[in-house]
C-alpha cells in the first residue's frame, strides 16, 4: 500500500504546492486524483516517483511510504526498483527511437531476460498496433498510439504500482474511452494504479477510490461511485447538476478490453 501522510511540498522554498495532503492507494485498487490546473496533482506524482528535486521542489514535512519503504529521499531509479513507475504528462517517448527500442528502454532495469520477454508480450497483446509498428519511430505514431507506447514502456518495468499523469490529455473522446479500458485491464492483471486526471468522467469510471485536490489540499475523498454522485463533483467536473438524468461513464465491471487498433 502507498501511504501519504500530512505531506507539505514547496518550490523554491516559497511556493506551497501541497498543503498537508494525506491519502492511500491500497494494493490492487485504482485510485483517481482529480483537480484543476495548479491543484497539485503533478507535484504529488513527482514526490512519489522521486523526480521532485529535478523540478526544484522540496518536501517540507510529512511522509510518503510504500509498504515498509520511505520514498522521500530516494532517487527515481530506486523508486522504480521498488515497483513504482510513472507515465509522465505529455508522454515523453523517445521520438527518434523505434517502438521496439522504446520498450527495451523501459525494461533496462530488469536483468531477467525471461521477465522482460513476458513484459513485452504483455504489451504487444494489449496493444497489437505497437507490435505491427515495432520498427517505426515513435515520433511518427499518432497521439493516441504514443500514449499507448508510453504506458507500454512503463509496463516493461513490471510495476506493482503504475502512476499515470493525465493520460487522456489532448486525445479524442473515442481514444479517451480506450485509455479507460486499458487502465481497467492493467488493474485486472494485478497492477495497482494511481491515476491523476482532469477528465473526471473517465477517471471516476475506472477508479475504486478518488480524491479531489483544491489548491494543494484534499477537499473531497471517498469511493469513486460516491464522489460521482456529489453535487460539487457533478457541477465542477462532470458538467451537470445532481437532478439531471445521467449515466455513469467508464468501464463496467468485468468488461473485456477491446484491443487497441486506432
pLDDT of amino acid 230? 86
Give the chain's end-to-end CA distance (angstroms, integer). Answer: 34
Signed CA dihedral, 101, 151, 175, 167: sign only: negative
pLDDT > 80? residue 18: yes
pLDDT of amino acid 258? 41
Alpha carbon separation from 49 to 96, 121, 200 (Å, rounded): 25, 26, 23
The domain made up of 2-238 has a fold known as: Rossmann fold (3.40.50)
Confidence of residue 261 (pLDDT cuts 50, 70, 90): very low
pLDDT > 50? residue 212: yes
Q: Which three cell numbers stand for residue 219?
A: 477537499
Q: Is the pTM of this model over 0.95?
A: no
Q: Which three cell numbers stand for residue 58?
A: 522540496
pLDDT > 80? residue 41: yes
Of 41, 37, 50, nearest to 23 (Cα)? Answer: 41
Q: How many CB atoms lie within 10 A of CB 127?
A: 23
Q: Which residues pair with 211 in a beta bridge?
A: 33, 221
Residues 6+ apart with CB under 8 A from 201: 237, 238, 249, 250
In which order are the strands placed within the sheet that holds 2-11?
Answer: 15-25, 2-11, 57-66, 69-70
pLDDT of amino acid 233? 83
Confidence of residue 238 (pLDDT cuts 50, 70, 90): low
Distance, CA of 228 to CA of 67 (rounded, Å): 29
Distance, CA of 232 to CA of 89 (rounded, Å): 26
What confidence tens digit (pLDDT) does each residue in 78-114 have? 999 999 999 988 888 999 999 999 999 998 887 788 8
Q: Which residues pair with 11 in a beta bridge?
A: 15, 57
Say whether 137 sits in a helix, a strand or coil. Answer: strand
Q: Give residue limits of the domains in the chain.
A: 2-238
pLDDT > 80? residue 251: no
| Residue range 49-71: mean pLDDT, rounded | 93
pLDDT of amino acid 259? 45
Confidence of residue 34 (pLDDT cuts 50, 70, 90): very high
pLDDT > 60? residue 250: no
| Residue range 211-234: mean pLDDT, rounded | 90
pLDDT of amino acid 252? 39
pLDDT of amino acid 171? 87
Q: Does 262 or 3 have the greater pLDDT score?
A: 3
pLDDT > 90? residue 175: no
| Residue range 190-211: mean pLDDT, rounded | 94
Amino acid at each position: 500500500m502507498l501511504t501519504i501522510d500530512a505531506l507539505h511540498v514547496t518550490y523554491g522554498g516559497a511556493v506551497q504546492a501541497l498543503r498537508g495532503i494525506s491519502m492511500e492507494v491500497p494494493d490492487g485498487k485504482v485510485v483517481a486524483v482529480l483537480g484543476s490546473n495548479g491543484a497539485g496533482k503533478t507535484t504529488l506524482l513527482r514526490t512519489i516517483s522521486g523526480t521532485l528535486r529535478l523540478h526544484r521542489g522540496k518536501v517540507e514535512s510529512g511522509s510518503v511510504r510504500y509498504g515498509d519503504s520511505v520514498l522521500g529521499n530516494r532517487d527515481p531509479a530506486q523508486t522504480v526498483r521498488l515497483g513504482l513507475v510513472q507515465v509522465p504528462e505529455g508522454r515523453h517517448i523517445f521520438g527518434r527511437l523505434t517502438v521496439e527500442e522504446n520498450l527495451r528502454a523501459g525494461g533496462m532495469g530488469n536483468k531477467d531476460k525471461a521477465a522482460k520477454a513476458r513484459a513485452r508480450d504483455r504489451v504487444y497483446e494489449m496493444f497489437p498496433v505497437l507490435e505491427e509498428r515495432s520498427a517505426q519511430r515513435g515520433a511518427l505514431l499518432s497521439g493516441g498510439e504514443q500514449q499507448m507506447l508510453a504506458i507500454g514502456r512503463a509496463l516493461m518495468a513490471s510495476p506493482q504500482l503504475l502512476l499515470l499523469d493525465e493520460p487522456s490529455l489532448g486525445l479524442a473522446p473515442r481514444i479517451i474511452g480506450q485509455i479507460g479500458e486499458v487502465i481497467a485491464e492493467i488493474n485486472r492483471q494485478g497492477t495497482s494504479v494511481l491515476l491523476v486526471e482532469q477528465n473526471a468522467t473517465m477517471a471516476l469510471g475506472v477508479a475504486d477510490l478518488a480524491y479531489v485536490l483544491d489548491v494543494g489540499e484534499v477537499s473531497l475523498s471517498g469511493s469513486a461511485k460516491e464522489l460521482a454522485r456529489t453535487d460539487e463533483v457533478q457541477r465542477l467536473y462532470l458538467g451537470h447538476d445532481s437532478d439531471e438524468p445521467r449515466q455513469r461513464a467508464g468501464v463496467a465491471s468485468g468488461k473485456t478490453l477491446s484491443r487497441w487498433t486506432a
